[in-house]
Amino acid sequence: MNKQLAIGIDIGGTNTVFGIVDARGDIMYRGALSTSTNERIEEFIDDLYEAIKPAIEKAGGIEKIKGIGIGAPNGNYYKGTIEYAPNLNWKGVIPLTELISKKFKVPSALTNDANAAAVGEMMYGAARGMKDFIMITLGTGVGSGIVANGQLIYGHDGFAGELGHTIVLPGGRLHWGTGALGSLEAYASATGVVLTAKEFLAARKDEASLLRDISEEQLNSKAVYDAAIKMDKIAMEVYEITGKILGMALANFVMFSSPEAIILFGGLTKAGNLILDPTREHMEKNLLPIFQNKVKLIFSQLNESDAAILGASALVWELKNE
């Protein structure tokens, strides 16, 4: 039978990964290319086409492909455009699905990377069978995808779900990119964790820490994690305060859409209970009683690179009735 396969593409600031996926969510072929080396979007799409072409051939040709789903930062579902993405080379408004469909000659759909992850989780991961959940990606930045009544919330303009940019501590830490003071992303991202560690080290100069052996340039979120699992007090407290702030923010999200679960995804979740325990504690503490002890706070069940491909490919099946 024809058109049983979907291509999933996840465009990140540095790398782009892709796969050819069947309707059960098995990735048959996969690959990757650099995102950042192409200054012009047209060149990137040429490179992307050349990279995927051999996999399409192996899968039986383009007539087997129902469509292409793409996840990308600032991806707009309604318009199929990437708009003003700070971490990509291509500035302004990029008509991505138009360019992709023209090149590959199949329909395509775009959403932001966190929405793609939420769709992937709903079809193949921890959110199977759920109609109301929130996906929070804790990576270099903080992204989110919100599902209510079984549907992704895109909002009026296709940009809904920018929970990383909600203000959680008014007048708080300056965000390096947006200029906002006290947004969630300024704290609960890998970047935020490193900034918190640096603040703690500067403010508590008399306190020993394994983190003091690391140069300022090499102090990344993995180093904080490595120190925390060795019971380094400052590193552990970095996770506690990060979880406290994240938990407060999650409580607000729960009182908005009352989800069955919040699914955490991305690099920061590697810290396991170091981040999960304080997050859960402070989420519960800030909830109205009618919401307490109801919301599952869980990690994604998909591995990170697969989730990105699966989530993007799932957009193709989502589109099947349109």
Near its own copies by CB under 8 A: residue from 108, 115, 189, 286: 286
Near its own copies by CB under 8 A: residue from 163, 234, 250, 274: 163
Separation CA 125–CA 131 (nearest Å): 13
Give 160 or 210: the residue with its C-beta nearer to its own copies: 160
Residue 131 contacts its own copies per CB under 8 A: yes
Nearest to 48 by CA among 58, 37, 59: 37
CA 2 to chain CA mean position, Å: 32
Give 68 or 118: the residue with its C-beta nearer to its own copies: 118
Q: Which two tokens stand for residue 173?
A: 């830490």
For its own copies, which stretch binds (CB under 8 A), given 19-27, 143-151, 273-281, 308-316?
143-151
For its own copies, which stretch binds (CB under 8 A), given 27-35, 47-55, 114-122, 146-154?
146-154
Residues 6+ apart with CB under 8 A from 22: 4, 5, 6, 28
Near its own copies by CB under 8 A: residue from 29, 159, 299, 317: 159
Residue 49 contacts its own copies per CB under 8 A: no
Residue 166 contacts its own copies per CB under 8 A: yes
Residue 165 contacts its own copies per CB under 8 A: yes
Nearest to 1 by CA among 26, 25, 23, 30: 23
Residue 118 contacts its own copies per CB under 8 A: no
Separation CA 120–CA 258 (nearest Å): 21
State phi, psi for 51 to the nearest 5 degrees. -70, -35
Angle (CA) 261-127-30 rounded to 5° is 135
For its own copies, which stretch binds (CB under 8 A), given 25-33, 119-127, 221-229, 286-294?
286-294
Give 30 or 165: the residue with its C-beta nearer to its own copies: 165
Looking at residue 158, its amino acid is G
Residue 288 contacts its own copies per CB under 8 A: yes
Nearest to 16 by CA among 51, 66, 40: 51
Concatenate the DSSP letters of all residues of 71-118 into one string.
Answer: E-TTEETTTTEEES-TTSS--SEE-HHHHHHHHHSS-EEEE-HHHHHH
Residue 205 contacts its own copies per CB under 8 A: no
Give 258 or 303: the residue with its C-beta nearer to its own copies: 258
Near its own copies by CB under 8 A: residue from 167, 210, 236, 319: 167
User: Are 111 and 78 in contact, with CB atoms under 8 Å apart?
Assistant: no
State phi, psi for 13 to the nearest 5 degrees. -60, -35
CB of 13 to its own copies, least distance (A): 17
For its own copies, which stretch binds (CB under 8 A), given 142-150, 186-194, 231-239, 268-276?
142-150
Looking at residue 111, its amino acid is T
Residue 169 contacts its own copies per CB under 8 A: yes
Near its own copies by CB under 8 A: residue from 255, 272, 273, 303: 255
* Binding positions for its own copies, rule: CB under 8 A: 74, 83-84, 131-132, 146, 148-149, 151, 153-163, 165-170, 178, 180, 248, 251-253, 255-260, 286, 288-291, 294
